[in-house]
């Protein structure tokens, strides 16, 4: 019976709110992180709301020619 509750909670976290998943985050140039974004990044969306965040860099990366 306990495993059924675990599965229910996991499925509800995946389908909750504005969670787009890691593929969408990576495609948009972000990284999925647990807890908080690191310095120099901002919260763009969620990979799995509310635990795993999709963080993107504040400044765009530039390449030298």
Structurally, what CATH architecture does the domain formed by 19-60 represent?
Roll (3.10)
Q: Which of 30-39, 46-55, 56-65 has the lowest mean pLDDT?
A: 56-65
* Side-chain-side CA neighbours of residue 41 (13 Å): 17
Tokens 């972000």 sit at which residue? 30
Q: What average pLDDT score do residues 23-29 get? A: 85
Q: Is 49 left (phi over 0), alpha (psi -120 to 50) or beta?
A: beta
pTM over 0.75: no
Tokens 């993107």 sit at which residue? 56
- Residue extents of the structural domains in the chain: 19-60
pLDDT score at 41: 94
Model confidence at 53: pLDDT above 80: yes
Cα 14 to chain center, whole Å?
A: 11
């Amino acid at each position: 019976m306990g495993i059924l509750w675990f599965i229910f909670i996991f499925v509800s976290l995946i389908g909750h709110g504005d969670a787009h998943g890691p593929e969408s985050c990576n495609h948009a140039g972000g990284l999925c992180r647990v807890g908080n974004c690191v310095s120099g990044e901002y919260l763009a969306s969620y990979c799995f709301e509310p635990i795993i965040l999709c963080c993107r860099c504040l400044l765009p990366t530039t390449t030298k020619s």
